[in-house]
Amino acid sequence: MPEEKPLSKGEQTYAAIIEAAYALFLKKGYHGTSMRQIAERADLA
């Protein structure tokens, strides 16, 4: 089984944004979620 290489900093940031957006969209809906909320949830703000 091939080893998984560690994610780069950019890939980690991308994954954090996607996970934060997904969680907020489920909770508040697409139109009820702001970019600021996503950034804060992903620890980018």
For every one of its 45 residues, what pLDDT tens digit does the chain have, with 9 covering 90 and above?
678 889 899 999 999 999 999 999 999 999 999 999 999 999 998
CATH 3.30.70 is the classification of domain 9-41: no
Q: Which two tokens stand for residue 24?
A: 């907020």
Close Cβ partners of 21 (under 8 Å, ≥ 6 residues apart)? 33, 38
**Predicted pLDDT of residue 45:** 84
**Predicted pLDDT of residue 17:** 98
3-state helix, strand, coil in the chain (%, to 5): 60, 0, 40
- Give the whole-angstrom CA distance, residue 34 versus residue 37: 5
**Predicted pLDDT of residue 2:** 73
**Predicted pLDDT of residue 1:** 66
